[in-house]
Structures are given as structure tokens and as C-alpha cells.
Amino acid sequence: MSELKRPSVLAGLIAEGRADPITAEERAIVAEIRAFYEKKYGHGGREPRQTRKSA
């Protein structure tokens, strides 16, 4: 199954001039947080959680 990419609300606000685009420094911070999360939890956080089966 291919992953659908939704349009960003922020992208629309940036296009309208109502928000500032993300800076290179902010993009690097996000990349570090994402890498830490993926290393700790083993995935990008977009996979569905496994449901716990009751006994």
C-alpha cells in the first residue's frame, strides 16, 4: 500500500503570506528529533499500533 501525502496546512499559510517558511536550522532540528525517534522506536511513527489482545 502506498502512503498518501496530505497537503500541509502550514504550506497553505506560507503561500498566503500568513506564516514564515521553516528555516534550515529548524529543519535540522526536526531531522534530529525524527532520527532519535526512529532509532528508539524502530520506525517512523506512521505504522499502526498493534492492539493488545485481552486474555
Nine-digit cell string for 54: 485481552
What average pLDDT does this structure show over 31-38?
Answer: 93
Q: Which one-letter DSSP state was computed for residue 19?
A: S
> In the prediction, which pLDDT does 5 show?
80
More confident site: 48 or 36: 36
Yes or no: say if 46 and 4 are a contact pair by the CB < 8 Å rule: no
Convert the pLDDT of each residue in 14-30 to its tens digit. 999 999 988 999 999 99
**Residue 2: pLDDT above 70?**
no
**Distance between CA atoms of 38 and 33, rounded to whole angstroms?**
9
Place of cell 493488545: 52
- 3-class SS of residue 9: helix
User: What is the model's pTM?
Assistant: 0.51
Q: What is the mean pLDDT of residues 5-12?
A: 84
